[in-house]
Amino acid sequence: MAVYTHLTAAEIAEFLDAYDVGDLRSAKGIAEGVSNSNWLIETERAHASQRFILTVFEARTEADDLPYFLSLLDHLAAKGLPVPRTIHTRDGALMREARGKPCALIEFLPGVSVDEPEPAQARAVGIALADLHLAAEDFPQSRASSLSLPICVQMLRDNAAKFDEIDPQLDTIIPDCGAGVLEHWPVDLPAGTIHSDLFPDNVLSVGDRVTGLIDFYFACSGILAYDLAVTHAAWSFDLADNAFRPDVGHALIEGYESCRPLSDAERGALPLLAQGACLRFVATRVEDWFATPVDGLVRRKNPMQFAHRLAFYRAQGEAAFTL
Amino acid sequence: MAVYTHLTAAEIAEFLDAYDVGDLRSAKGIAEGVSNSNWLIETERAHASQRFILTVFEARTEADDLPYFLSLLDHLAAKGLPVPRTIHTRDGALMREARGKPCALIEFLPGVSVDEPEPAQARAVGIALADLHLAAEDFPQSRASSLSLPICVQMLRDNAAKFDEIDPQLDTIIPDCGAGVLEHWPVDLPAGTIHSDLFPDNVLSVGDRVTGLIDFYFACSGILAYDLAVTHAAWSFDLADNAFRPDVGHALIEGYESCRPLSDAERGALPLLAQGACLRFVATRVEDWFATPVDGLVRRKNPMQFAHRLAFYRAQGEAAFTL
């Protein structure tokens, strides 16, 4: 939620020169995304204006992976999904540099992110996620997750000695740093290309209609039902008191299954997959907790939010997913 | 350059309900302004979209002064100046609250801020500033500056003992904390409504055409030529090495005088007025320097930038303004 790289208007205009998008009319640094710098750009050509998002990829996004992310946007947009197209340069390139950093120009999509999702919105997101899984079936590229469960378990082990500094309950909830979840992790579920970070922040809507799935910079190859479990864990809890919202969770799964029904094996794995999803967010937030100075530019997210959700999924088992 | 108050999409939609602007389609927190939180809002009505800036006024802007600022925007926009109109509620109000803070909805204007002004742009800004002074002649409200020269001198005196912590040169440049400038400050120059903070940040342009004068939250009653001196001090120095750009400074004054010629008294006062302008920015930056933690969310601006400009104006006298 910050602009890390300040490009001047002249630098942005020079950047746009490589694209067939008209002349720069407006550029506003926007507070969107936690890892990259984003501008909302407006251009004009023949009295028609167009809007784009210009993203400067900061160190945290691996530059080698950018062609994967940007090609995936193109693949999904071409199939009619509400995903921002990557704008190509006149030479057909997916990205170019500004200030020595890789940058991409992508389509601007309307819509707002909901903060407190209602069932109708969750259902629409379930449909959109299933659409995404189906549309990506023939996407030819692959990418290993940089936050796979073994990696997350290791991240937690590296910080386990300091869990008490965050919250005395953290060690009680994951005394094994997730080893138990890892041990039973399914290996034979349907896999494909997944978003893997579909938080409410990353979904734009107008009313109950999904107008944008954004921020694909954690997309990777993975278990499809894991993506649904991530989305379930991200959407189905009250922000204020972290209480489970069964109506929202059920609507999400019902929407998903209306496009892509789950197999019995997938359905049976959801409780464990959801615990794995929670472990990942606990692990990354624990790392960020110790890496971020208290007065820093980035607000720390509390790892306990997802630790408590993990405990919920472990306690509830299949009941959390029963329609 | 931050969003201090995070409004949810639901809160923004509820806020917009009081205005006749259509339905919310997009809301992006933008990194604009140092004291307030700003959103770029898009609405839609009858398939036509419109854009606005929603500003949440944080503690630093005095709520009692907001009607003055917002009425001034209306006054100037009605006269055709490139100034954002204040959007009124259906009940005719200039502002309303969200999250217990005063907020205003103003027109979005296209254009980008130049970082390194060229003479043609400075000339256009000079014209726009003179237009503003002339258009505001019949603006019926008044407001005393909260950063008048006596106040700034006092701010500097309050911090003088710590000048060395900023830079050993600071005390050498203003050993009297500006008392000498204050002593000779002119009292009988033409006065009116002034912007008083027309930095390049606060001017939007498309090419050499000024498309927006923004951020009127320091506007007040004051000496018109002081406003020109503020603008001269803010525009006519290289960002990289703080060197004077005579071509830019001359173009600014030439543009201003093409609409509103200066009297001999105004012209003769410019060197002192420019020193007063610099003193103000030294004073506010010195205060912010000691008030802002090094790791804080707001980047500190170095007071020495304007201390050196002050020394330049004192040394050059009228030569800095000779066309």
Predicted local confidence at residue A59, as pLDDT:
75
DSSP conformational letter for B263: P
Q: How confident is the model at residue B2 (pLDDT cuts 50, 70, 90)?
A: low
The C-alpha atoms of residue B61 and residue B40 are separated, in whole angstroms, by 20
Give yes or no for residue A21 having a pLDDT over 50: yes
H or E element in which residue B152 lies: helix B149-159
Q: Note whether B9 contacts A113, CB cutoff 8 Å.
A: yes
Give yes or no for residue B112 having a pLDDT over 70: yes
Please give the mean pLDDT across all residues of chain A: 93
- Which of B1, B4, B28 to mutate against chain A (most A CBs within 10 Å)? B28
Nearest CA in chain A to B3: A31
Whether the CB of B116 is below 8 Å from some CB of chain A: the reply is yes
Average pLDDT over residues B239-268: 97
Q: pLDDT digit string (tens) for A74-127?
A: 999 999 999 999 999 999 999 999 999 999 999 999 999 998 899 999 999 999
Q: pLDDT digit string (tens) for A215-266?
A: 999 999 999 999 999 999 999 999 999 999 999 999 999 999 999 999 999 9
What secondary structure, in 3-state letters, does B15-76 show?
HHCCCCCCEEEEEEEECCCCCCEEEEEEEEECCEEEEEEEEECCCCCCHHHHHHHHHHHHHH
Whether the CB of A311 is below 8 Å from some CB of chain B: the reply is no
Token pair listed for A252: 């999400």
Among residues of chain A, what percentage have pLDDT more than 70? 95
Window B:185-214, CB contacts with A under 8 Å: 204, 206
Predicted local confidence at residue B303, as pLDDT:
96
Residues of chain A with Cβ-Cβ distance to B210 below 8 Å are none
Of the candidates A3, A25, A112, which has its C-beta nearest B31's C-beta? A3
Q: Note whether B29 contacts A27, CB cutoff 8 Å.
A: no
- Nearest-Cα distance to chain A for B204, in Å, is 9
Q: Look at the alpha carbons of A28, A9, B78, B198 in this order and tell me if their dihedral is positive or negative.
A: positive
Which fold does the domain A119-321 belong to in CATH? Aminoglycoside 3'-phosphotransferase; Chain: A, domain 2 (3.90.1200)
Q: Is residue A2 packed enough to be buried (19+ CB in 10 Å), middle (13-18) or exposed (0-12)?
A: buried
- Nearest-Cα distance to chain A for B79, in Å, is 23
- Given a contact cutoff of 8 angstroms between Cβ atoms, the answer to whether A66 and A80 are in contact is no
* Cβ-based neighbours of A141, under 8 Å, separated by 6 or more: A68, A71, A72
- Longest distance between any two alpha carbons in chain A, whole Å: 63
Whether the CB of A31 is below 8 Å from some CB of chain B: the reply is yes
What angle is formed at CA B2 by the lines to CA A19 and CA A10, rounded to 5 degrees? 30
- Of A35-49, A196-210, A290-304, the range with the lowest mean pLDDT is A290-304
Please give the mean pLDDT across all residues of chain B: 93
- Given a contact cutoff of 8 angstroms between Cβ atoms, the answer to whether A190 and A224 are in contact is yes
Whether the CB of A22 is below 8 Å from some CB of chain B: the reply is no
Residues of chain B with Cβ-Cβ distance to A116 below 8 Å are 8, 10
Of the candidates B30, B114, B115, which has its C-beta nearest A31's C-beta? B30
DSSP three-state, residue B205: strand
- Nearest-Cα distance to chain B for A28, in Å, is 6
Of the candidates A10, A115, A206, which has its C-beta nearest B25's C-beta? A206
Question: ipTM value of the model?
Answer: 0.82
Q: How far is CA B190 from CA B222, B261, B302, in A?
A: 9, 12, 32
Of the candidates A1, A9, A25, which has its C-beta nearest B113's C-beta? A9
User: Are A9-107 and A119-321 the same fold in CATH?
Assistant: no
More confident residue, B131 or A240: B131
Tokens 């105004």 belong to residue: B266
Q: Is residue A323 packed enough to be buried (19+ CB in 10 Å), middle (13-18) or exposed (0-12)?
A: exposed
Q: Note whether B26 contacts A2, CB cutoff 8 Å.
A: no
- Which of B99, B112, B201, B298 to mutate against chain A (most A CBs within 10 Å)? B112
The C-alpha atoms of residue B238 and residue B244 are separated, in whole angstroms, by 6
- Longest distance between any two alpha carbons in chain B, whole Å: 63
Q: Note whether B28 contacts A29, CB cutoff 8 Å.
A: no
- Of A37-46, A255-264, B14-23, B32-41, the range with the lowest mean pLDDT is B32-41
Residues of chain B with Cβ-Cβ distance to A204 below 8 Å are 26
Predicted local confidence at residue A47, as pLDDT:
81
- For domain A9-107, say whether CATH 3.30.200.20 is its number: yes
Predicted local confidence at residue A235, as pLDDT:
98
The C-alpha atoms of residue A176 and residue A155 are separated, in whole angstroms, by 12
Residues of chain B with Cβ-Cβ distance to A30 below 8 Å are 28-31, 40
Q: Note whether A27 contacts B112, CB cutoff 8 Å.
A: yes
Q: pLDDT digit string (tens) for B190-249?
A: 999 999 999 999 999 998 899 999 999 999 999 999 999 999 999 999 999 999 999 999
The C-alpha atoms of residue B21 and residue A160 are separated, in whole angstroms, by 53
Average pLDDT over residues A137-149: 96
- Nearest-Cα distance to chain B for A43, in Å, is 10
Average pLDDT over residues B33-57: 89
The C-alpha atoms of residue A285 and residue A266 are separated, in whole angstroms, by 27
Q: Look at the alpha carbons of A269, A272, A274, A277 in this order and tell me if their dihedral is positive or negative.
A: negative
Give yes or no for residue B62 having a pLDDT over 70: yes
Q: How confident is the model at residue B176 (pLDDT cuts 50, 70, 90)?
A: very high
Predicted local confidence at residue A1, as pLDDT:
41
Of the candidates A30, A115, A295, which has its C-beta nearest B29's C-beta? A30
DSSP three-state, residue B294: coil
- Given a contact cutoff of 8 angstroms between Cβ atoms, the answer to whether B103 and B15 are in contact is yes
For chain A, the structural domain boundaries read: 9-107, 119-321
Q: How confident is the model at residue A207 (pLDDT cuts 50, 70, 90)?
A: confident
Q: Note whether B112 contacts A26, CB cutoff 8 Å.
A: yes
H or E element in which residue B192 lies: strand B191-194
Residues of chain B with Cβ-Cβ distance to A26 below 8 Å are 110-112, 204
